[in-house]
Structure 1
Amino acid sequence: MHVWEQVYNPLGNIWLSAIIAAVPIIVFIVLLTVFKLKGYIAGLFSIIAAGIFAVFIYKMPAILVLMSAIYGILVGLWPVASIVFAAIFLYKITVKTGKFAIIEKSISFITVDQRLQVLIVAFSFGAFLEGAAGFGAPVAITAAILVGLGFSPLYAAGLCLIANIAGGAYGAMGIPVTVPALLTNLDGLVVGRYTALVLPALSIVVAFLLIFIIDGFKGIRQTFPAILVSGGSFGLTQALVLTFLGAELADIFAAIVSLVVLTLFLQVWKPKEIYRVNREKAVDKQIKYSFGKIAYAWLPFVFLTICVTLFNLPFFKKLFLPGGLLEKLVLLFPIPGLDNLVIKHAPIVTQDAPMAAVFKLDLFSSTTTAIVMTIIVASILFRCSNKQLREIAKETSKELVSPVLTICSVLAFAYICTYSGMSSTLGLAFASTGKVFPLFSPVLGWLGVFLTGSVVNSGSLFAPLQAVTASQIGIAPETMVAVNVMGGTMAKMISPQSIAVAAAAVGLAGKESDLFKVTIKYSLCLLAVIGLVSWLLF
């Protein structure tokens, strides 16, 4: 096939061209919010709209449009959807075998003060689950645990949604950072390091905010040392992991360290007053488990942490890179009819450059592989029957049909916008705002997550725009992609998808508006903080 050169100003006026380029995004927004269509249906119509404009306005050959969409769908399936499926499958194994009940009880016995239980469950354990699974599962699980501990459903769901800020940017093994970086051809480690300038410090603020919501300034005064230990150890670990290892491990390591450090601290320190949400309810001390039983229940998550750590060490990664001993185990599939057939040119790049389109199937070195290995180990340890495993697979598949379709449709739409040049058009238009753009940059990420419920999907929609705009105004593109992640994280607590998951988990289906009212003010305030910090730093 002949190569095709991108056109960034097809109408001769950059703002008119930008309006045309924005129409598919507007279609997605209107269908999702006004007509309240499901995410994948809105995504499908957006794919159609993007394809029409790409062919008839941008003069992109139809075969390139089709292959761009297929490429996006493939990336949506692997690694994004595969990680989510495997992680939720692992969680369900612990539930079906009764081991998750032991995990839940082990948390409640660390302290009877329920302010500190929120730090353990919603803040630290929630971040651990976010790092392993993401996509709504952490909020659903931790909210259910808090209800079991005595919190009201609305209270429990709201606290867990707010606590999710601490780990939301690095959920499902870092893919909210790595996918946008991949989409924009940037180094995921560098993008993660820029987020480390802000989010670890914000995690400490979130720890204080949770206690303030529960018990005001009195609660902060009475539990100040514990909040500092929990939030400080979490933020410091998160910053170190982001700087030296990458986003994949940021949540898991930070969560484990904060859990261990706070647990040890609470063995030598206790608050002067014990806070209970229901003061009349006696503390349940009937069931106690030995250390061996607790460790046994936690073993799969320990094994998962070891596997993911190993898989992300530089020496291990090098084995699968070109020239490495195991490079043949990584299957590379150039997308026919697309790979190197789209040419980027100035002012997006300094010199003409073809856009690669190669699907990587790393079956033996991916995060999905680490989770699958853990599933096998857990199945053997907990003696799962074949019937149980089939039931879990069927149940998980049924639950994830809609989320996976949404992920794939949004990535297909995003890849059409990227390869057609529409994202670049929007970036060039936004670049005219000059040095003020970093102030408003987080709003794009926030809007994307509000609409799609996922920092990954938000990055897929807006990371190319952020990167191009950053380049045009003379700052590192990694900074604005990082800001997109940070702004998006502030919207997870108000995303309709997150609200629906949290409400369903605690039996509040139909009362999503009540939960939205609890979280919206915190989301907007934190978004403003991210915008101001972004403007000052970048």
Structure 2
Amino acid sequence: MYTPDLAPIAGSLLWSSLVALLPLVTIFVTLGALRWKAHWAGLAAVVVAALVAIAAYGMPIHLVGLSATQGFAFGLFPIMWIVVNAIWLYELTVRSGRFDDLRLVIDAISDDPRVQAIIIAFCFGGLLEALAGFGAPVAITGVMLMAVGFTAMRAASVVLIANTAPVAFGAIAIPIITAGNLTGIDYQHIGAIVGRQAPFLALFVPLFLVLLVDGKRGVKQLWPLALTVGGAFAVAQFVSSNWLSVELTDIVASLAGLAAAVLMLQVWKPQGGQDALAKMQAEREHESADPVTPDGASGGGVATAQRISVALTPARVFLALFPYLLVVAIFSVAKLWRPLSDWLSTTDVKIPWPGLDGNISTAAGELSTSTVYGFQWLSSPGTMLLIAGIVVALVYKMSAADMVGVYRETLVKLRFAILTVGFVLALAYVMNQSGQTITIGAWIAGTGAAFAFFSPILGWLGTAVTGSDTSANALFATLQQAAAEKAGLDPALLVAANTSGGVVGKMISPQNLTIAATAVGLVGRESDIFRKVIWWSLGMLAAVCLLVGLQSTVLSWMVPTL
């Protein structure tokens, strides 16, 4: 039985934490400074984590290897299972020719790329996050932005930053429900507090997207629309999480944001749309003429489509939107209709990882449950996307040979992404099960009353490593609770802060960087995307830290009581 030692280096949490941080330093330096390809950066980080686990923590070599294999398996299924099927669904629409019609449908709402970024990445991406999560919103909205003329790098940056506001309540509020189950705190109470933190980010995210797309000029011309959509999303998120339904919060908020955008565009037209369009077209032509994608890189990105005038009949509009309407319908029924969701959960298979289960305990001395692998063969969002893809292919009258051929091509395109995500999850499992992650968390938690300010950093760190706010809560929710009680702070506030901090860590997660790069055709350039979004992540993290720090003191009236 292996039991992690929280302070294996000279009995010091500080020195032990500095050693435990080495795998994270490795992946951030190799990606951000050395610009390695993501799969090599991930592999290097796994090797460093394994060495730290063996040399510093005394974890038996065979348990280190088994932890890595369990993590790698989790990276393949369900994570890459979701991404592969999301990209396959998109490739089917391209092969059928219907994806060009989608661009025309979006243009009919607005041909302004700044508006399209808000509608596609923020509103529609938020809806996909609410229903699916796990990278599907980034993959799908990334290729949609490419289709309407965005450059690959700009599309990747936009979708990663847009995929912040809805993350806390994503996949029917799974991160918050997980935190509630682990801490024993009513998850609706946690959700109500998150609903008084996350909306402050949501309010400004559309404005950030406009700044990314068209700089200061765009902000000056589109701030009324951006703040209206962000405000509608934020208010709906606050109201739903506190008085309607924590589980349905992102669905309500995304639809409110979309409705606000459509209604405002009926009475107000932004200036400068054609200038922004011309700028985007010039960027795409430069990107096509001077590609800098590494050898062997490929992804889901589409070529720049010529803007042509074609009559959009009701049938063409329906068929263009059909794949996305179908995805929303399938996920809504599977997640929201309780009899079906309950039945789907009964099909999940729990697999005790051979040689690992029963041989690892937590730092508290309790038998670890993280050694049980959940095989969600039917309830996984990836399986639902596969079903949607089959239905779409049948409706588009594609042959079985075409479907299989496109799937094979998709797997080839994603081969490096599959490796990357596998390595990143292997890294997360080795760090978690050896005790490295909890050592870092315990060190940060030892800051006393000031911990309220630092608490979101744990959520940010957990999500950056695992790519999942749910996993970050699984790692740190109970630690946040214990540290709060020790420091005389509100445990529910800090558990909520873990969730809110996690949402801004997702954009720099190697897993999500890989998904974005794959979707837009920049496999191998994850390091460049990382350098584009890291400062956004750190800036938003600082804002969340400040807000939580104030909520623990002078703004305590903002926090509801049980």
User: TM class by shorter-chain length?
Assistant: 0.7 to 0.9
- The CA deviation at 1:209 is 4.1
* Structure 1 position 300 matched with structure 2 position 314: no
* Structure 1 position 344 matched with structure 2 position 362: yes
Q: Does the aligned pair in 2 maintain the 1:229–1:261 contact within 8 Å?
A: yes
Aligned to 1:271: 269
Q: Distance in 2 between matches of 1:280 and 1:79?
A: 40
- The CA deviation at 1:416 is 1.7
Equivalent residue of 2:35, what SS? coil
- The CA deviation at 1:253 is 6.1
Change (3 A) 1:386 1:104: same
Equivalent residue of 2:373, what SS? strand
Aligned to 2:3: 5
Q: Distance in 1 between matches of 2:238 and 2:261?
A: 18
- The CA deviation at 1:394 is 2.1
* Structure 1 position 81 matched with structure 2 position 80: yes
- The CA deviation at 1:120 is 2.7
Q: Does the aligned pair in 1 maintain the 2:122–2:206 contact within 8 Å?
A: yes
Amino acid at match of 1:271: K
Q: Does the aligned pair in 1 maintain the 2:194–2:497 contact within 8 Å?
A: no
Equivalent residue of 2:361, what SS? strand
- The CA deviation at 1:20 is 2.9
Aligned to 1:39: 38
Q: Does the aligned pair in 2 maintain the 1:466–1:480 contact within 8 Å?
A: no
Change (3 A) 1:7 1:444: closer
Aligned to 1:235: 234
Change (3 A) 1:510 1:143: same
* Structure 1 position 65 matched with structure 2 position 83: no
- Decide which of 360, 363, 366 is 2:380's aligned counterpart: 366
- Decide which of 358, 361, 368 is 1:355's aligned counterpart: 368
Aligned to 2:475: 464
Change (3 A) 1:23 1:232: closer
- Decide which of 546, 551, 561 is 1:532's aligned counterpart: 546
- Decide which of 319, 342, 348 is 1:330's aligned counterpart: 348
Q: Distance in 2 between matches of 1:75 and 1:237?
A: 34
- The CA deviation at 1:393 is 1.1
What is the TM-score normalised by the length of structure 1?
Answer: 0.77
Change (3 A) 1:168 1:492: farther
Give CA deviations for 1:73-94 in whole Å, capped at 9, x if unaligned. 2221221111111111111111
Change (3 A) 1:530 1:290: same
* Structure 1 position 479 matched with structure 2 position 502: no
Q: Distance in 1 between matches of 2:186 and 2:80?
A: 19
Amino acid at match of 1:353: E
Aligned to 2:283: none
Aligned to 2:257: 258
Q: Does the aligned pair in 1 maintain the 2:456–2:498 contact within 8 Å?
A: no
Amino acid at match of 2:405: E
Q: Does the aligned pair in 2 maintain the 1:467–1:481 contact within 8 Å?
A: no
Q: Distance in 2 between matches of 1:34 and 1:273?
A: 39
Which piece of structure 1 moves more, 216-225 or 304-313? 216-225
- Within 5 Å, give how 1:139-218 maps onto structure 2: 140-147=142-149, 162-167=161-166, 173=171, 177=175, 195-211=194-210
Q: Distance in 2 between matches of 1:512 and 1:337?
A: 36
Q: Does the aligned pair in 1 maintain the 2:199–2:233 contact within 8 Å?
A: yes
Change (3 A) 1:141 1:12: same
- Within 5 Å, give how 1:47-58 maps onto structure 2: 47-58=46-57
- The CA deviation at 1:433 is 1.9
Q: Distance in 2 between matches of 1:87 and 1:12?
A: 47
Q: Percent identity?
A: 27
Give CA deviations for 1:39-70 in whole Å, capped at 9, x if unaligned. 33333333333333333432323332222222
Q: How many residues align?
A: 513
Aligned to 2:299: none
- The CA deviation at 1:491 is 4.7
Give CA deviations for 1:370-416 in whole Å, capped at 9, x if unaligned. 21221111011011122322332122212222222222212212212
Q: Does the aligned pair in 2 maintain the 1:85–1:400 contact within 8 Å?
A: yes
Q: Distance in 2 between matches of 1:81 and 1:224?
A: 37
Aligned to 1:409: 423
Change (3 A) 1:446 1:145: farther
Q: Distance in 1 between matches of 2:209 and 2:260?
A: 19
Q: Does the aligned pair in 1 maintain the 2:92–2:406 contact within 8 Å?
A: yes
Instruction: List runs of 5+ in structure 1 lacking aligned partners.
Output: none
Q: Distance in 2 between matches of 1:199 and 1:484?
A: 9
Instruction: List runs of 5+ in structure 2 lacking aligned partners.
Output: 280-305, 486-490, 553-562
Q: Distance in 2 between matches of 1:188 and 1:371?
A: 32
Equivalent residue of 2:275, what SS? coil
Q: Does the aligned pair in 1 maintain the 2:460–2:498 contact within 8 Å?
A: no
Q: Distance in 2 between matches of 1:414 and 1:511?
A: 19
Q: Does the aligned pair in 1 maintain the 2:176–2:470 contact within 8 Å?
A: no
Change (3 A) 1:168 1:318: closer
Amino acid at match of 1:100: F
Change (3 A) 1:525 1:429: closer
Q: Distance in 2 between matches of 1:238 and 1:449?
A: 21
Amino acid at match of 1:90: L
Q: Does the aligned pair in 2 maintain the 1:5–1:342 contact within 8 Å?
A: yes
Equivalent residue of 1:12, what SS? coil
Aligned to 2:287: none
Equivalent residue of 2:437, what SS? helix
- The CA deviation at 1:289 is 0.6
Q: Distance in 2 between matches of 1:106 and 1:291?
A: 10
Q: Does the aligned pair in 1 maintain the 2:70–2:373 contact within 8 Å?
A: yes
Q: Distance in 1 between matches of 2:22 and 2:481?
A: 22
What is the TM-score normalised by the length of structure 2?
Answer: 0.75
Change (3 A) 1:5 1:220: closer
Aligned to 1:90: 89
Q: Distance in 1 between matches of 2:331 and 2:516?
A: 29
Q: Does the aligned pair in 1 maintain the 2:2–2:59 contact within 8 Å?
A: yes
Give CA deviations for 1:496-518 in whole Å, capped at 9, x if unaligned. 7689669857x9x99997x8897
Amino acid at match of 1:7: D
Q: Does the aligned pair in 2 maintain the 1:200–1:239 contact within 8 Å?
A: yes
Q: Distance in 2 between matches of 1:211 and 1:54?
A: 44
Which piece of structure 1 moves more, 297-306 or 25-34? 25-34
Q: Distance in 2 between matches of 1:29 and 1:511?
A: 11
Q: Does the aligned pair in 2 maintain the 1:439–1:532 contact within 8 Å?
A: yes
- The CA deviation at 1:275 is 3.9
